[in-house]
Amino acid sequence: MGTTIQTVTPFVEIMDCTLRDGEQTSGVSFLPHEKLMIARMLLEEVNIDRIEVASACISEGEREAVEMICRYAQNIGALHKVEVLGFIDGRKSVDWVDSCGCKNINLLTKGSLRHCTQQLKKTPQEHIEDILDTIHYALSKDIAVNVYLEDWSNGMKDSADYVYQLVDALATTHVKRVMLPDTLGVLNPLQVIEYFRKMKKRYPEMHFDFHGHNDYDLAVSNSLAAVLSGARGLHVTVNGLGERCGNAPLASVQVIMKDLFHAQTNIHEEKLNDISRLVEGYSGIAVSPNQPIVGENVFTQVAGVHADGDSKANLYCNELVPERFGRKREYALGKNSGKANIERNLKELGVVLTPEQSKKVAQRITELGDRKEIVTQDDLPFIISDVLKHAVPAEKVKLISYLVTSAYGLKPLANVKVEINGSRYEADSTGDGQYDAFVKALRKIYRTYLNRTFPILENYSVSIPPGGRTDALVQTVITWRNGNRQIRTRALDADQTEAAIKATMKMLNVFEEQQTP
């Protein structure tokens, strides 16, 4: 018997659960204003279809967050996209959602017989009656209702008749969506296909969502299987946040739907990296460097043979081009770089070297790589200068002297003297830390004496070089933004502030080079 192939390109509705399910990640708790900022970016920039923002009746902080998000969403005409998880608790959850100004409730029901009888201590019919009473009350308050079947995956495995009994009852109501979670992350794609096809065959007109958990690292694969089998909506979280191993990551689900299944979504892909960084900052959960789409290293080629192939015919590129996500491809510099990587980086900088000079630079980069030090493209001019013993680039900004002080109860103070293009300037400033005071003094010099803007600090990373000890050198990598150009420099020193200052002076020399016509 042949397999039926869908010929119509489907539209897949995406609901982001970062602000509800993602907050169940160990150690993650968003403040109300942080929830608002994430919701704003998801709705306005990422263009997500729906957001689940909280659980009802949890705390006053949750109430404040939901009220803020609903006010904002109403102002931009997106209140219909905001949803709150509610419970079968009589009128309590519905009244809570209504009092916050939200117009959508996602009712959590029991999708397996074991959960119904052993957790609720109720018969299926008793649970169904409670569900119907809550749905009817919500609808009477003009609140739209979606229903979760918690533990649906095990329900289909062990008690399919119970699942059908429950959904038969829901089919008689005005529920908008029935949401099918793999609550414990126990399904594989073949099982998802089997169970979804059974649900679609029995309820062909019903809107089903799939909610995948990643315990076996199959949340994304299972999401694809669900859409292949008729799911009209998928649930995701930014960076895959969620309980235990997390949920299906938004970025991965989006690109797989588009590239491998040719499904249509409303997602603005160029904003996926931005929302990832925002959630990373607020959650405190770092994104793995090799996380698909949004990881720091995913558009960085390390092997020289790859750079060589890209320069000839894009032999090592696929549809996941970095520009699609507001990023750019980089060619790492290290012991595996090879000639092609170095040449690509030099070309981007506009630097031309003889073969012998290139060989010397490659040797130095290999030495640094053997010591596990980071080498960025912006470090290249300084490596060249050091290796070839001539000014490439010219040191247009020189640090003459600086003094930073710190005292209990007082803000740190910095006095800075620099030479910029042959002229000397001095300024002092206070800051929230010694380095902050130093940078503010530099900003004052550029603003007061040069009437020029100063690059914007984007990222500041301090670490001990791999293999080092706590009393070894500190490595500082700082990323700045100058218009549409990014500058990233690195410095090593025994003192964290000194390392940051050295990296900043490197940045300023690159910055001045960029100002040259």
Q: What is the pLDDT of residue 344?
A: 67
- Contact by Cβ (8 Å): 72, 100: no
Identify the weakest region by mean pLDDT among 117-126, 351-360, 423-432: 351-360
Please give the backbone phi and psi of residue 451, each rounded to the nearest 5 degrees, phi first: 50, 45
pLDDT at position 487: 86
Residues 6+ apart with CB under 8 A from 136: 173
* CA 481 to each of CA 41, 261, 358, 374, 463: distance values in angstroms, whole numbers, following the listed order: 21, 36, 29, 20, 21
pLDDT at residue 302 tops 70: no
Residue 310: what pLDDT? 44
For residue 51, pLDDT beyond 90: yes
- Quote the tokens at residue 268: 């603005």
For range 165-184, the mean pLDDT: 97
Whole-number pLDDT of residue 386: 55
In angstroms, the CA 105 to CA 44 distance is 22
Mean pLDDT over 171-184 rounds to 97
Whether pTM > 0.75 for this model: the answer is no
Least reliable range by pLDDT among 44-53, 217-226, 265-274, 406-415? 406-415
Whether residue 182 is predicted with pLDDT greater than 90 in this model: the reply is yes
Q: Active site residue: 52, 62, 83, 150, which one? A: 150
**Which span out of 235-239, 417-421, 468-472, 490-494 was modeled with the highest average pLDDT?**
235-239
**For residue 20, what is the enclosing H or E element?**
none
Q: How confident is the model at residue 312 (pLDDT cuts 50, 70, 90)?
A: very low
Instruction: Return the pLDDT at 5.
Output: 44
Tokens found for residue 214: 């990643």
Mutual angle of helices 380-388 and 338-349, in 10-degree steps: 100
Model confidence at 54, pLDDT cuts 50, 70, 90, reads very high
Phi then psi dihedrals of residue 16, to 5 deg: -95, 130
- Residue 391: the pLDDT is 42
Q: How far apart are the first and last CA of the chain?
A: 69
pLDDT band at 165 (very low <50, low <70, confident <90, very high): very high
Give 467's pLDDT tier (boundaries 50, 70, 90): very low
**Helix and strand totals (H; E) in the chain:** 17, 16
Is 431 buried (19+), middle (13-18) or exposed (0-12) by CB count in 10 A?
middle
* Cβ neighbours around 388 below 10 Å, total: 16
> pLDDT by residue (tens digit) across 443-458?
999 999 999 889 999 8
State the pLDDT at residue 472. 45
Structure tokens at 37: 């900022």
Nearest to 399 by CA among 479, 515, 506, 480: 506
Residue 183 has pLDDT above 50, yes or no: yes
Q: How far apart are CA 380 and CA 35, in angstroms?
A: 41
| Model confidence pLDDT, tens digit, residues 202-213 | 999 999 999 999
DSSP lists the bridge partners of residue 399 as 418
pLDDT band at 393 (very low <50, low <70, confident <90, very high): low
Mean pLDDT of the chain: 86
Catalytic-residue membership of 150: yes
Residue 315 scores a pLDDT above 60:
no
Instruction: For residue 211, give both structure tokens.
Output: 């909610």
323 is catalytic: no
> Looking at the chain, how many residues does it have?
517
pLDDT higher than 60, residue 172:
yes
What was the pLDDT predicted at 388? Answer: 64
